[in-house]
Homo-oligomer: A and B are copies of this chain.
Amino acid sequence: MPPSSPLHVVIVGGGFAGLNVAKGLGGVAGVEVTLIDRRNHHLFQPLLYQVATAGLSPAEIAAPIRGLLSRYDNVRVLQGEVTGVDLTTRQVTGSLGDIEYDRLVLAAGAMHSYFGNERWEVFAPGLKTVEQATEIRRRVLEAYEAAEHEDDPDVRRALLTFVVVGGGPTGVEIAGALGEMSRFTLARDFRNIDPALARIVLIEAGDRILASFDPRSSSRATRDLERLGVQVWTRSRVSVVDAEGVEVGAERLAARTVVWAAGVKASEIGEQMSGGAPVERDHQGRVYVGPSLQIPGHPGVFVLGDQAHVEGADGHALPGVAPVAMQQGRYVAQRIRGALKTGADDYPPFVYWDKGQMATIGRSRAVLEAGRVRLGGMFAWLGWLFVHIYYLSGFKNRLFVLLSWAWSYFSFARGARLIIQKRWRSYEDAPEDVHPSADTSP
């Protein structure tokens, strides 16, 4: 067989899906991989709420993509933004110029959706990036600081009211962590206010929180949240979000800190694909892909993770969780390797192995469901802890998160209580009269 030029696989996104494709193709002869991400780091998103609530430092749950893949000589990592895909000429476009591919893997993830009220974002940040997490941390910690020297009781009450919109796992985890922080961590640190009197309200539009869980798990989680002082409002729809708080129906809730955990939409790259057969998307912007995770009519173009609409065994779309993305990443790598070896594209379709779901509530409670097993309380929390530490990428992070948690657990403290200012001066903030070559000061 004559030597042929290597197969160029371009991966967009270094999340769970993209990273697993790259790892699966690392070191495979005849394959060249280019992974492109806007950020230099892979983020362990399931623990991002711990950064927002000052339990962990950003670096403890993030690792440079470049470092995670440095052992594979055939994998190249580029930091840049992909803005479009030309499916006819087979290239991606963006800040790095045009890059041609033989196989394309789109795994650019999702961001928060405000259901048409995007201007709410400034008042109620979501939780998808490190910057958003440190911004939420800043707002929460500054609210307590401001309350400490506030004389007006109404303003103080608004400062000490924290609203979390959305009762899915992320919302439940943030609310639980906020409850625990006010009850235990901050309790001794203030003189004029009692942090334990902070009001935390979790607002959910549906009948119950954790709707994807068994109703008994929802009840259990609600009780655990209430034990931490969190008020759970179900069947409540937020109609206004502004600098003063939120409105739920006719009721106004004065709150200086609002966190959004209510909805997601897929990355916009799915909208910027041109050429050939039309690309169909669902109402969340996710691209419909077939059982091989390729776009119908576009063989060799895969869409994975939060960006993809893949039907599960029950006919519903697979949820946007880490296990789905990881399994899809490994599958695509295997499929590409298989086709390379046999020369035929007859690899079996993707099947999601559902290992269950879980959500943690504060320092020692969780709900966990796996097959027929349903757990709550301390045992579920230990299970949650084990799974999350096991999956944290990179040895150092795993060890450090374990130590951080162990320390927080036994001391009731939170290690990462830093308020970092919103902005620092940069090139763009330079005064108008500063010009590269005009400066001739002595």
Q: Which residues of A line the B interface, CB within 8 A?
A: 39-41, 57-60, 62-64, 66-67, 70, 76-80, 96, 116-117, 119, 121-123, 125, 129-132, 134-135, 141-142, 145-146, 148-149, 188-192, 239-244, 396, 399-400, 403-404, 407, 411, 413, 415-427, 429-431, 433-437, 439-442
- Which residue of the partner chain, among B59, B426, B430, B442, contacts A416 with CB atoms under 8 Å? B59
In the complex where A57-B59, A188-B70 touch, is A427 in contact with B123 (Cβ < 8 A)? Answer: yes
In the complex where A119-B434, A427-B122, A436-B243 touch, is A418 in contact with B40 (Cβ < 8 A)? Answer: yes
Residue on B nearest A43 in the bound complex, by CB: B418
Residues of B within 8 A of A439 (CB): 119, 240-242
Residues of B within 8 A of A242 (CB): 434-437, 439
Q: Is the CB of A64 within 8 A of B189?
A: yes
Report the Cα distance A222→B6, complex, angstroms.
47
Residues of B within 8 A of A425 (CB): 121-122, 125
Q: Can you list 7 A-B pairs with a CB-CB distance of less than 8 A?
A: A41-B417, A79-B142, A119-B430, A123-B430, A129-B424, A130-B420, A396-B415
Residues of B within 8 A of A419 (CB): 39-41, 79
Measured CB to CB, the closest approach of chain B to A312, in angstroms, equals 32
Q: Is the CB of A58 within 8 A of B122?
A: no
Q: Is the CB of A442 within 8 A of B57?
A: no
Report the Cα distance A71→B136, complex, angstroms.
27
Given A76-B192, A241-B439; 11 other pairs, CB 8 A cutoff: A40-B418, A41-B417, A58-B420, A79-B149, A121-B425, A122-B427, A130-B420, A239-B441, A242-B439, A400-B404, A400-B415
Report the Cα distance A439→B78, complex, angstroms.
41
Report the Cα distance A416→B182, complex, angstroms.
29
Residue on B nearest A134 in the bound complex, by CB: B420
Residues of B within 8 A of A407 (CB): 396, 399
Residue on B nearest A38 in the bound complex, by CB: B421
- Which residue of the partner chain, among B39, B142, B149, contacts A96 with CB atoms under 8 Å? B149
Measured CB to CB, the closest approach of chain B to A401, in angstroms, equals 11
Q: Is the CB of B426 within 8 A of A149?
A: no
Measured CB to CB, the closest approach of chain B to A70, in angstroms, equals 5
**The 10 A-B residue pairs with the shortest CB-CB distance in the complex, in nearest-first order:** A59-B416, A79-B145, A131-B424, A57-B59, A57-B57, A242-B436, A122-B430, A64-B417, A40-B419, A66-B189
Report the Cα distance A425→B122, complex, angstroms.
6
Residues of B within 8 A of A189 (CB): 64, 66-67, 70, 77
Report the Cα distance A122→B431, complex, angstroms.
9
Q: Is the CB of A418 within 8 A of B62?
A: yes
Report the Cα distance A245→B57, complex, angstroms.
33
- Which residue of the partner chain, among B41, B66, B116, B427, contacts A190 with CB atoms under 8 Å? B66
Measured CB to CB, the closest approach of chain B to A414, in angstroms, equals 9
Q: Is the CB of B40 within 8 A of A131?
A: no
Q: Is the CB of A122 within 8 A of B422?
A: no
Report the Cα distance A433→B434, complex, angstroms.
32
Residues of B within 8 A of A58 (CB): 57, 418, 420
Residues of B within 8 A of A413 (CB): 67, 396
Residues of B within 8 A of A79 (CB): 142, 145-146, 148-149, 419
- Which residue of the partner chain, among B149, B403, B426, contacts A403 with CB atoms under 8 Å? B403
Residues of B within 8 A of A62 (CB): 418
Residues of B within 8 A of A123 (CB): 427, 430
In the complex where A64-B417, A96-B149 touch, is A122 in contact with B240 (Cβ < 8 A)? Answer: no
Measured CB to CB, the closest approach of chain B to A59, in angstroms, equals 4
In the complex where A189-B66, A434-B119 touch, is A420 in contact with B239 (Cβ < 8 A)? Answer: no
Residues of B within 8 A of A146 (CB): 79
Residues of B within 8 A of A416 (CB): 59
- Which residue of the partner chain, among B134, B191, B435, contacts A76 with CB atoms under 8 Å? B191
Q: Is the CB of B240 within 8 A of A78?
A: no
Residue on B nearest A191 in the bound complex, by CB: B76
In the complex where A58-B57, A119-B430, A413-B396 touch, is A418 in contact with B67 (Cβ < 8 A)? Answer: no
Q: Is the CB of B122 within 8 A of A426?
A: yes
